[in-house]
Amino acid sequence: MPSFSARESSRRHFLKQVSAIGLAAALAPLASPSASARGDSVATTRSGRIAGLRDRGIHVFRGIPYGDTSTRRFRRALPETPWTGVRDATRFAASAPQRGDADGQPVSEDCLFLNLHTPGLRDGRKRPILFYIHGGGYNNGSGSHPLYDGANLCRRGDVVVVTVNHRLNAFGYLYLGEHGDERFAESGNVGQLDLIQALHWVREHADEFGGDASNVTVFGQSGGGAKIATLMAMPEADGLFHKAMTMSGQQVTAAGPRAAAQRADLLLREAGLEPDELDRLLALPMARLLEATRARDPSRVEDTSLYFSPVLDSRALPRHPFYPDAPAQSARIPMIIGNTHDETRAFLGGDPANFALTWEQLPRKIREQQYVDLAPDVVIAEYRRLYPDYTPSEVFFAATTAGRSWRGAIIEAEERARQGAPAWVYQLDWRSPAEGGRLRAFHTLDIPLVFDNVDAEGSRTGTSERAHRMATRMSDALIAFARHGDPNHAGIPHWAPYTLPRRQTMVFDDASRMEDDPRGGERRLYESVPFVQRGTF
């Protein structure tokens, strides 16, 4: 264990790093059109003109501001500040403050930027608009990752693709609503309100970028899917999007106000502040506030930092996203709900020991990692009955996948079916060749397939013909869904909507197929205990 002085030196280095990054972002030039930006990739926004670039015949605009949070910590954003001249939109802009890598971009509290790909400008075409919300939970990430490049989707489907940055972690979801200060009544959901502001921007500018304001599809993976599920229950989001696709990202319940307020108090204590010192909290340096999020979250089994997510504040979010039922306001919105077969191999596959577990080691590992309170011996016995050939490691990865993320997807699909609302469900079984194939169909594998970006930096699909065929199937399903409200196309078997009790599911694989209730035994095992979304209590 490092000495106290070593730990303090590391802490100071971290603070200096984050402060420097934030300062660099704040001092970035607002308008400096480059030579590559000149030409026909010039658009007019409500706040000024922007110059982008051409990439493989597609107009690309990066770092477009859609709001201003520079002086709005824990509060709704202001409109972006207008500029004069032509603003350079050839480079990505700052990501939200976060610990760790922000997809290689600087971080800043002024982080409301979006990126846009379109085949045409002001051409009167009414193209479907695909609005992507990044993953990383509610804690990290950005819309700038190479896997989210929209050029291939634009060329394949004649669509407009938008990716977005918004406030995260404590900056986007710290609930101060019980402190009696009306300024912060909505602080637990300002990250979601940022997304709503971005959707308003998209609707306002659809014609300029060759898109159809009445045909917006939101799609997102992991935390992005969870944010979409939450938007489906937020009154201010009603009417801003018309179709939704969630990929390995569910939000059944939001954080309760008591639990969210408890996390806020823990952060204040970690920052050395009293509960009533909100003005000091506003003045706290960005890096110090980020460091305070390292406080241990009391609701989580493992030793980890504070968990921030949308809050049931009875204002911006007046109900849980999918409890006790699917939100009525979104019943008319067609929805795709998907997961990968081996989600947790992405999280837990980095430890070689997890691939060599013994039956004696397995109970403790399942108790630590399945996230539901179900006796490990019961879980192991049922998996050995369902899958007699499974090794202890295969049981471990299957049980943690079913107990952690997959259960929420099943609940959302079932509630949509009970509501009579259209939903199509998929399970990605297609196995990645990465690491000798041992990661199988891991969490995030569907991103490069849906974006048709198997050749992009960060893709772990490989670039074989097999990978390209799967990308064609999945990206064409997204495009068909965005265009027609139905994901069916000639390259896949007929994809029937999800109904009860059949639970029809498209299994994407080298030989894609429809199955009724795949992994039904696992579903029945885990529905024997209550599902509680992490962070609710």
Domain C-terminal end among 247, 277, 304: 247
* Domain of residue 393, residue span: 344-442+452-462+484-526
241 plus 348 within the same structural domain: no
Using one digit for the tens of pLDDT, what is the confidence trace for 390-413? 999 999 999 999 998 899 999 999
Q: How many angstroms separate the Cα of 247 from the Cα of each of 252, 292, 336, 405?
A: 14, 31, 8, 11
- In SS3 terms, 204-231 reads as HHCCCCCEEEEEEEEEEECHHHHHHHHH
Task: Give the residue ranges of the chain where pLDDT is below 70.
Answer: 1-39, 300-303
pLDDT value of residue 302: 59
Q: 158 - beta bridge partners?
A: none
Q: With respect to residue 365, please indicate whether it lies within any of the assigned structural domains.
A: yes
Contacts for 470 with CB less than 8 Å, ≥ 6 apart: 430, 449, 461, 508, 510
CA quadruple 66, 88, 48, 71: dihedral sign: positive
CA quadruple 281, 165, 536, 334: dihedral sign: positive
Give me the amino acid identity at 507. Answer: V
What CATH number is given to the structural domain containing 114? Answer: 3.40.50.1820
pLDDT value of residue 4: 29
236 plus 372 within the same structural domain: no
Give helix 376-386 / helix 362-369 axis angle, nearest 10°: 110
Q: With respect to residue 273, please indicate whether it lies within any of the assigned structural domains.
A: no
203 plus 348 within the same structural domain: no
C-alpha closest to that of 354 among 442, 438, 461:
438
What residues are annotated to the active site? Answer: 222
Q: With respect to residue 232, please indicate whether it lies within any of the assigned structural domains.
A: yes
Contacts for 208 with CB less than 8 Å, ≥ 6 apart: 43, 44, 45, 121, 122
Q: What's the CA gap between 420 and 416, in Å, rounded?
A: 6
Which helix (H) or strand (E) is 33 found in, with range? none
Q: With respect to residue 223, please indicate whether it lies within any of the assigned structural domains.
A: yes
Q: With respect to residue 80, please indicate whether it lies within any of the assigned structural domains.
A: yes
Q: With respect to residue 269, please indicate whether it lies within any of the assigned structural domains.
A: no
Which helix (H) or strand (E) is 263 found in, with range? helix 257-270
End-to-end C-alpha distance for the chain, whole angstroms:
33
373 plus 511 within the same structural domain: yes
Using one digit for the tens of pLDDT, what is the confidence trace for 426-451? 999 999 999 999 999 999 999 999 99
364 plus 217 within the same structural domain: no
Which helix (H) or strand (E) is 88 found in, with range? strand 86-88
Q: What's the CA gap between 334 and 477, in Å, rounded?
A: 13
Q: With respect to residue 423, please indicate whether it lies within any of the assigned structural domains.
A: yes
381 plus 522 within the same structural domain: yes
Task: Say if pTM beats, i.e. exceeds, 0.85.
Answer: yes
- Domain count for the chain, please give it: 2
243 plus 351 within the same structural domain: no
Q: With respect to residue 492, please indicate whether it lies within any of the assigned structural domains.
A: yes
Domain C-terminal end among 247, 271, 302: 247
pLDDT value of residue 301: 58
Domain C-terminal end among 218, 247, 276: 247
